[in-house]
């Protein structure tokens, strides 16, 4: 007997209307809300890997009743050339294991949607058909606006963006006006949360680089260096946008065993070393830069000058503290260059205290190592975030070719640790920031804790909006949980 026939029979037995309504409510099938989270852009850097477990930690903590499906760019297994660059045997390391430490049962799908919103495989088709919302997770742009719109147009379900950067020079595109997939997706979104406030200024129509641009071309160099984020001509002020930090700020897992093995092998003592993370100006993928030049030529122009500034801080740190320095990667591309970029050329007494990691690592091991470090100095953005979650102070040194996502550190109250433009900064200035941190670690940690409390409040705000968009009850307003799920 089906539910309707059952109620008819009970009515015939004389049950009152109110009793029938209560029974109907109690027998009504309940379906857990299903969130389709689009993330996992790459495995060639620990930031893109770290976005996912951070997002899952927030979802598990704030929307525990939901089923979560991760729609990843790939299955997150290191294979072939990527595995070779990382130093792993092919198909032996799966980056999704980091995320499964947070939410073991989440579903991972890959694939594409055609122009009707139909998936190219059964797993993705099932996820799209049953999802109640699709959200683009943190990244340097919307990245998948076409997929968002195809989901939205097919299902008529809400879409949103959580912790992105809308950089009109890097990864987010407005040149086609209202025909731009990015503009269409933002107009259709129930929420657009940017991980830096500069993105909000850009969406408000400001010229965030000023009339001269972020970087002018030097005619004496062999590359075109001009970078300018032109103001957006579309009026996007009615888009439901707000500031919610990168989901990696909720990264909640560690690999203490692997970290201890690394530290023991390199002679690193807890609290008596710093980590330094190098970077190319442009990721050396072999494609031209956005200005049209060779990435290798462009990168070579800045290798020495950039890393000389980090070496200045390393020399002062080693000579004032006697402690060690660990050079570690954020991307697989920098692994083979870490020694030449950082250690080579140091004075002998300093070089003896500098160790270089052999091969890649996953963000849970990085987190455990950063937890033991005094500080992290990085040209990359996500190593400082992971360090911050571990309670470790950091210095973020920004290369202007990277998107302005680094402004997020200023936005959360840590502008003193954010070197906005490596072109104008000196090694002495970077060293001075590090010396202030290590000379008063209690003050530095207190400053970081205050910033992280603000981050958590903003991420709670974002998750509350996701709940409301799903039609779920809002989060309680009294107090903030002591920690995100661990």
Kindly report, residue by residue over 210-234, the tens digit of the pLDDT: 988 999 999 999 999 999 998 898 9
Residue 271 sits in the same domain as residue 303: yes
Q: Give the integer Cα–Cα distance in Å for 320 and 374.
A: 14
- Tell me, what CATH number does 385's domain have? 3.40.50.2000
Residue 394 sits in the same domain as residue 258: yes
Q: What pLDDT shows up at residue 88? A: 97
Above 50 in pLDDT, residue 9? no
Domain assignment present for residue 273? The answer is yes
Q: State how beta strands 67-72 and 273-277 pair.
A: unpaired
Domain assignment present for residue 482? The answer is no
Domain assignment present for residue 483? The answer is no
Domain assignment present for residue 476? The answer is no
Q: What is the mean pLDDT of residues 43-69?
A: 97
Q: What pLDDT shows up at residue 26? A: 42
Domain assignment present for residue 446? The answer is no
Domain assignment present for residue 13? The answer is no
Q: Could you tell me the sign of the dihedral formed by the alpha carbons of 247, 98, 105, 146, in that order?
A: positive
Based on DSSP, count helices (H) and strands (E) in the chain, helices before strands.
18, 13
Q: Residue 10 class from Cβ within 10 Å (0-12 exposed, 13-18 middle, 19+ buried)?
A: middle
Residue 265 sits in the same domain as residue 331: yes
Residue 178 sits in the same domain as residue 289: no
More confident residue, 2 or 363: 363
Degrees (nearest 5) of the Cα angle 4, 5, 7?
65
Per-residue model confidence as pLDDT tens digits over 30-54? 789 999 999 999 999 999 999 999 9
Q: Which residues of 364-397 are buried (b: 16+ CB within 10 A; e: fewer)?
A: bbbbbbbbbbbbbbbbbbbbbbbbbbbebbbbbb
- Tell me, what CATH number does 80's domain have? 3.40.50
Above 70 in pLDDT, residue 480? no
pTM greater than 0.85 (yes/no) = yes
Residue 232 sits in the same domain as residue 290: no
CA R_g for the chain: 24
Residue 72 sits in the same domain as residue 169: yes
Domain assignment present for residue 8? The answer is no
Residue 243 sits in the same domain as residue 262: no
Q: What percent of the chain has pLDDT over 90?
A: 87
Residue 228 sits in the same domain as residue 261: no
Q: What pLDDT shows up at residue 21? A: 53
Residue 258 sits in the same domain as residue 293: yes
Residue 460 sits in the same domain as residue 384: no
Range of the domain at 412: 254-439
Q: What is the mean pLDDT of residues 458-470?
A: 97
Domain count, the chain: 2
Domain assignment present for residue 190? The answer is yes
Residue 281 sits in the same domain as residue 229: no
Q: Give the integer Cα–Cα distance in Å for 125 and 454.
A: 38
451: left (phi over 0), alpha (psi -120 to 50) or beta: alpha
Q: How far does CA 241 lie from the centroid of its chain? A: 18
Lowest mean pLDDT among 5-9, 82-86, 319-323, 475-479: 5-9
Q: What pLDDT shows up at residue 477? A: 55
Residue 163 sits in the same domain as residue 306: no
Q: What pLDDT shows up at residue 112? A: 98
């Amino acid at each position: 007997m089906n539910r309707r026939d059952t109620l008819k029979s009970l009515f015939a037995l004389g049950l009152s209307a109110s009793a029938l309504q209560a029974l109907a409510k109690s027998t009504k099938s309940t379906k857990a809300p299903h969130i389709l989270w689009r993330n996992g852009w790459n495995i060639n850097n620990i930031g893109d890997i770290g976005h996912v477990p951070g997002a899952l930690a927030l979802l598990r903590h704030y929307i525990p009743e939901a089923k979560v499906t991760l729609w990843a760019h790939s299955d997150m297994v290191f294979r072939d050339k990527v595995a070779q660059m990382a130093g792993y045997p092919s198909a032996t390391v799966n980056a999704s294991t980091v995320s499964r430490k947070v939410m073991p049962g989440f579903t991972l799908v890959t694939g594409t949607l055609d122009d009707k919103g139909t998936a190219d495989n059964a797993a993705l088709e099932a996820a799209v058909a049953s999802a109640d919302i699709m959200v683009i997770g943190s990244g340097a742009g919307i990245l998948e606006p076409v997929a968002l719109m195809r989901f939205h147009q097919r299902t008529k379900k809400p879409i949103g963006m959580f912790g992105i950067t809308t950089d009109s020079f890097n990864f987010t595109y407005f040149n086609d006006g209202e025909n731009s997939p990015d503009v269409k997706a933002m107009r259709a979104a129930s929420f657009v949360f940017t991980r830096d406030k500069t993105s909000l200024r850009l969406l408000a129509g400001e010229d965030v680089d000023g009339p001269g641009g972020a970087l002018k071309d030097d005619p004496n160099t062999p590359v075109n260096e001009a970078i300018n984020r032109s103001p957006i001509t579309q009026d996007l002020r009615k888009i439901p946008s707000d500031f919610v930090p990168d989901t990696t700020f909720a990264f909640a897992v560690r690999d203490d065993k692997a970290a201890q093995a690394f530290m023991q092998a390199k002679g690193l003592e807890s609290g008596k070393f710093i980590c330094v993370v190098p970077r190319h100006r442009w990721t050396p993928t072999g494609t031209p830069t956005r200005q049209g030049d060779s990435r290798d030529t462009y990168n070579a122009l800045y290798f020495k000058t950039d890393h000389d500034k980090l070496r200045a801080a390393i020399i002062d740190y080693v000579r004032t503290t006697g402690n060690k320095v660990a050079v570690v990667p954020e991307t697989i591309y920098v692994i083979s260059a870490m020694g030449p970029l950082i250690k080579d050329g140091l004075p002998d007494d300093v070089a003896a205290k500098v160790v270089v990691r052999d091969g890649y690592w996953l963000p849970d091991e990085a987190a455990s190592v950063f937890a033991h470090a005094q500080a992290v100095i990085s040209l990359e953005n996500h190593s400082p975030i992971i360090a911050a979650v571990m309670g470790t102070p950091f210095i973020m040194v920004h290369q202007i070719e990277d998107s302005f996502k680094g402004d997020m550190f200023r936005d959360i109250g840590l502008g003193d640790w954010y070197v906005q433009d490596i072109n104008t900064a000196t090694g002495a200035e970077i060293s001075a920031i590090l010396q202030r941190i290590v000379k008063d670690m209690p003050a530095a940690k207190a400053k970081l804790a205050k910033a992280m409390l603000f981050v958590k409040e903003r991420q709670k705000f974002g998750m509350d909006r996701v709940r409301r968009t799903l039609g779920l009850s809002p989060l309680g307003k009294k107090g903030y949980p002591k920690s995100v799920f661990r």
